[in-house]
Amino acid sequence: MRQLIGLIPLIPLLSSVCLMLLGSRLPRLWIGLLGVGSVGLAALLTGLTAVDFLANPEPFQLTLWVWMQVGNFAPGVAFYFDGLTLVMMSVITGVGFLIHLFSTEFMEEDKSYARYFAYLNMFVAAMLILVMADNLLLLYLGWEGVGVCSYLLVGFWYQNSANGQAARKAFIVTRIGDTAMALGLFLLFSELGTLNIQALGVAANETWQVGDKLPLIACLLLLAGAVGKSAQLPLHTWLPDAMAGPTPVSALIHAATMVTAGVYLIARTHELYLLAPIAMIAVALVGLTTSLMAAFTALTQRDIKRILAYSTISQIGYMFLALGVGAWSAGVFHLMTHAFFKALLFLGSGAIIHCLHHEHDIFKMGGLRTRMPVTFWSFMIGSAALAALPMTSGFFSKDQILLQAYQVDGIGPWLWLGGLLGALLTAIYSFRLVFVVFFGKANTEPDRDTGWRMALPLSLLCALALFGGWIMLPVAEVFPVASGLHPAHWVEYVSIAVPVVGVVIAYLVFYSGQLPVDGLLNRPSMQSLQRFWHSGWGLDALYDRLFVRPYYALAALLKGEPVDAVYGLIVAINQTLNGWLAEGQSGQMRRYLISMVFGLIVVLAILLGVF
């Protein structure tokens, strides 16, 4: 059974290759069957492996072959399987399967049906390689693979140049982080002599002391890679633009799986981070700042997908906060529950967009509650989980994070307070979305409700979002046990109450209008603050000024090829001389003779010593 895990990434990969080669010739039904079936099969295999693993929870390693051998550096194409891998694989194949199924309806009218599934399957394969890799080099292969697929899928509708722009932005911004991560890998290899993750943990503990400088640098470099991939400050700007892709893609790549790769990376290398407390604090602060920034921004957005994108950034910020405070399993738990409810929300928004003819502005929707009941209930459940209302899946994971953040020495209560503020904002903006879109006056008429291929994934995800909190993660072996201390009860009560308060505020402001905020919002200072939040804290404009425009200016300068001009001068001189000499080639034999005689005279004169 365990030998079969090698097949799990292989199946989507083969399907992807088939679709790329034969896609244009297959009928649509076959494309759908191949695309969905391959991921379904991978999910089935994952399930079987999970059953086997849970019965006998012993991590194991499967080496397929040695990738390359250079001296003592011999990374294998090898998979490592433990509880964390199982969680990630279940999320990827399970949620991925549901999203594939959803896509068959969402994309049914698209011309490039096969291309879409080819990319999506390739993404699943790359993501599986990423989480299953037993060494950091193979992980990096998957890491770059998902980056490429993200690029391809964000720019899927490439006929619109804005989408291509967004795809390039996503690719280039994450590339910054990837470069830092590659440097981190180089450092780790040169210092510890291995890239095998398990061996790395052992070697690091033997070589380094807690608080050494080298693990700090390595961890910060890895953090930079994670920040780029997971859209955290300051490299988060690509994610809102990445919403240019099809909505199921946003659900799969930019909410459930790829953007959480950074969280996975840090969780996977937690033994290194334990040696660098400063890096852990940096992780926590990055997460908290990002989550607050993104929550404020989500509050002011109008585009349904951008709201969800900023919400994703904010929730990943929570995961980083969890990792930073050492709540590894809580972070991974939140990763899983977030995958459920955010995929649900994205698919719900996809259903709305699909039925409203690609309308994205939430203020042009409204009153969809009765006309799209399935979508309404999925959104309701998804938002409840996102807002961490009690007994939903989000509640369990977020509650754990906040409690463990509170217990950190020194800055713990402050982290907790920041997290609470974020939770409040999350509740407000998520229910703002619900009230604006589904209640109130109808502005657009949907032509239909969702079909079964959309409704089924939505319902299943609803169940997961509701009850996912009761899943016990099999990661006890992977991570060190959190401190058994439990903070005072009031801390827990406050954590539970804050989201409820947020929902009430949203109800009062956006539904019943009993809390008049228009007067407050219309003040100039509030207006400018709103604009500031809306623009994502002005970071896009700042980067544009700092990096993009100087780069364009440089490119424009180099476009004229100033260095080439020097060589061009040589060419021009030669061409001119050539022109003159060609003039001399008159084809008249007498002229040649005369010049020959002239030359003869000169040579003779030189020989005679006249000159």
Partner 1 sequence: MDGLNIPLSHILLVSSLLFAVGMLGLMMRRNIIFILMSLEVMLNSTALAFVAAGAHWGQPDGQIVFMLILSVAAAEVAVGLGLVLQIQRRFKSLDMDNANRMQG
Partner 2 sequence: MLEISLFYIAATVALVATILAMTRANAIHALIYLIVSLLAVAVIFFLIGAPFAAALEIVIYAGAIMVLFVFVIMMLNLGEEGDAREKQWLSPAVWAGPTLLAVILFAELLYIISSVEGPVSTAQVTAKQVGLTLFGPYVLAVEIASMLLLAGLVGSYHLGRRALDRNIHEADARALSESNSNSTSDSNADKGAQ
488 contact choice in partner 2, partner 1, none (CB below 5 to 8 Å, kind-dependent) = none
DSSP conformation class of 253? I
| Rounded Cα distance, 549 and 554, in Å | 8
Per-residue x/- mask for partner 1, residues 552 to 591, rule CB under 8 A? -----------------------------xxxxxxxxxx-
- Nearest approach in angstroms of CB 592 to partner 2 is 13
For partner 2, the closer of residues 565 and 596 by Cβ is: 596
Contact 305, 57 (CB under 8 A): no
* Beta carbons of 381 and 465 less than 8 angstroms apart: yes
Q: What is the DSSP letter of 6?
A: G
* Dist CA 485 CA 489 (whole Å): 12
| Number of residues in the chain | 611
CA dihedral 279, 282, 288, 289 (to 10 degrees): -150
> Which of partner 2, partner 1, none does residue 589 bind to, with CB < 5 to 8 Å depending on kind?
partner 1
> Which residue's CB is nearer to partner 1, number 547 or number 592?
592
Q: Which does 584 bind (CB under 5 to 8 A by kind): partner 2, partner 1, none?
A: partner 1
CB 128 within 8 A of CB 89: yes
Among residues 186, 414, 551, 598, which is the contact residue for partner 2, using CB under 8 A?
598
- Residue 581: CB minimum distance to partner 1, A: 7
- Nearest CA to 32 out of 127, 91, 107 is that of 107
Handedness of CA 536, 540, 545, 547 (dihedral sign): positive
Can residue 607 be called a binding residue for partner 1 (CB under 8 A)?
no
CB closer to partner 2 out of 573 and 594: 594
Decide: is 600 part of the binding site for partner 2 (CB under 8 A).
yes
Selection from partner 2, partner 1, none that 48 binds (CB < 5 to 8 A by kind) is none
Residue 582 binds which entry of partner 1, partner 2, none, with Cβ cut-offs from 5 to 8 Å by kind? partner 1
CA distances from 340 to 101, 232, 410, 413, 529 (A): 15, 20, 34, 29, 33
CB neighbour list of residue 503: distance below 8 Å, 6 or more residues apart: 387, 389, 427, 428, 431
Least Cβ distance, residue 597 to partner 2 (angstroms): 5
- How far is 69 from 60, CA to CA, in rounded Å? 23
From partner 1, partner 2, none, which one binds at residue 558 (CB under 5 to 8 Å depending on kind)?
A: none
Amino acid at 172: I
Tell me the CA distances in angstroms from 224 to 134, 191, 238, 436, one per residue in order. 21, 19, 15, 37
Which residue, 519 or 584, has its beta carbon nearer to partner 2? 584
C-beta of 1 vs 596, nearer to partner 1: 596
Task: Count residues near partner 2 (CB under 8 A).
Answer: 8
- Residue 581 CB, shortest distance to partner 2, in Å, is 21
- Which segment (1-9, 111-119, 343-351, 593-601) binds partner 1 by CB under 8 A? 593-601
The option from partner 1, partner 2, none interacting with 604 (CB < 5 to 8 A, set by class) reads partner 2
Question: In the numeric block, which tokens belong to residue 76?
Answer: 């294998």
Cα(237)–Cα(174) distance, integer angstroms? 10
CB 594 → partner 2: shortest distance, Å?
Answer: 6
Q: Angle 489-506/412-438 helices, nearest 10 degrees?
A: 30
**Residue 597 interacts with partner 1 (CB under 8 A): yes or no:** yes
**Do 321 and 447 form a contact (C-beta atoms < 8 A)?**
no
CB of 585 to partner 1, least distance (A): 3
Please check whether residue 45 is in contact with residue 7, taking contact to mean a CB–CB distance below 8 angstroms: yes
Closer to partner 2 by Cβ: residue 557 or 604: 604
Contacts of 580 (CB under 8 A, 6+ apart): none
User: Residues 32, 557, 597, 611: which binds partner 2 (CB under 8 A)?
Assistant: 597
Q: Is 288 exposed, middle or buried (0-12, 13-18, 19+ CB in 10 A)?
A: buried
Note whether 601 binds partner 2 by CB under 8 A.
Answer: yes
Within 13 Å and on the Cβ side, how many CA atoms surround 611? Answer: 7
Give the nearest distance from C-beta 607 to partner 1 in angstroms: 16
Region binding partner 2 by CB under 8 A among candidate stretches 68-76, 300-308, 530-538, 597-605 = 597-605
Q: How far is CA 23 from CA 11, 26, 115, 370, 432, in A?
A: 16, 6, 7, 39, 42
- The single residue among 489, 559, 608, 611 that binds partner 2, judged by CB under 8 A, is 608
CB of 583 to partner 1, least distance (A): 7
Q: Minimum distance between the CB of residue 586 and partner 2, rounded to whole angstroms?
A: 15
Q: How many residues bind to partner 1 according to rule CB under 8 A?
A: 13
Cβ closest to partner 2, residue 520 vs residue 594? 594
The only residue of 497, 594, 603, 606 in contact with partner 1, by rule CB under 8 A: 594
Is 604 a binder of partner 1 (CB under 8 A)?
Answer: no
Given the rule CB under 8 A, which of 70-78, 176-184, 278-286, 591-599 is the region that contacts partner 2?
591-599
Least distance (Å) from partner 1 to the CB of residue 586? Answer: 5
Residue type, 24: S
Site string for partner 1, 261-280 (x = CB under 8 A): --------------------
By beta-carbon proximity to partner 2, the closer residue of 202 and 606 is 606
For position 48 contacting partner 1 by CB under 8 A, the verdict is: no
Q: Dihedrals φ, ψ of 276, to 5°? A: -130, 80
| Nearer Cβ to partner 2 (441/590) | 590
Closest of 200, 188, 262, 197 to residue 61, by C-alpha:
197
Find the helix packing angle between 304-324 and 393-406, rounded to 10°: 40
| Shortest separation between residue 571's beta carbon and partner 1, angstroms | 19
608 binds partner 1, rule: CB under 8 A: no
- Candidate residues 68, 278, 565, 594; the one interacting with partner 2 per rule CB under 8 A: 594
- Return the bridge partners of 78, or none: 63
End-to-end CA separation in angstroms for the chain: 97
Rg (CA), the chain: 30
The distance from CA 385 to its chain's CA centroid, rounded to whole angstroms, is 21
Residues that bind partner 1 (CB under 8 A): 581-590, 593-594, 597
Residues that bind partner 2 (CB under 8 A): 594, 597-598, 600-601, 604-605, 608
